[in-house]
């Protein structure tokens, strides 16, 4: 896998209603800035959050990735969201088996105004 694969897998698993599969894309102690204004910490809590979100059967669309920044087994991935959320950004880390998992996830944030 490449760092960019995580976003594609997230969309595929979310659209399949697979909260366990989505959670498996995160490190055990990952931090996600969601829901807005809060953080969700740990794979188990992220799984529970996505189970609740996916129970409403939302549909996610693949967004084209922006260039990935990578250094020493850490990468920053991002996409310009189609839903007007401002930006999406994730920090992913290469695992011992060569795969990548999300460590930090900022799924939506707005550009400050004023």
Residue given tokens 């950004």 in the structure block: 89
Q: 36: pLDDT confidence band, cut at 50, 70 and 90?
A: confident
Cα 78 to Cα 15, 25, 33, 45, 63: the distances in Å are: 20, 15, 14, 23, 9
| Mean pLDDT, the chain, whole residue set | 91
> Once rounded to an integer, what is the mean pLDDT over residues 24-52?
96
User: What pLDDT sits at residue 12?
Assistant: 97
> Once rounded to an integer, what is the mean pLDDT over residues 66-93?
89
47 or 85, greater pLDDT? 47
Cis peptide before 35 (omega within 30 of 0): yes
Tell me the two tokens of residue 46: 């992220």
At 99, give phi and psi (nearest 5°).
Answer: -75, 175
pTM of the shown model? 0.90
Residue 44 exposure: Cα atoms within 13 Å on the Cβ side: 0
């Amino acid at each position: 896998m490449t760092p960019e694969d995580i976003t594609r897998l997230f969309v595929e698993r979310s659209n399949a209603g697979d909260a366990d599969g989505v959670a498996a894309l995160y490190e055990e102690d990952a931090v996600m800035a969601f829901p807005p204004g809060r953080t969700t910490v740990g794979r188990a809590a992220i799984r529970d959050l996505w189970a609740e979100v996916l129970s409403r059967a939302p549909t996610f669309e693949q967004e084209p990735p922006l260039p990935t920044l990578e250094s020493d087994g850490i990468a920053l991935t991002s996409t310009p969201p189609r839903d007007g959320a401002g930006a999406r950004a994730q920090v992913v880390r290469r695992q011992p088996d060569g795969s990548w998992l999300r460590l930090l996830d900022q799924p939506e944030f707005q550009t400050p105004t004023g």
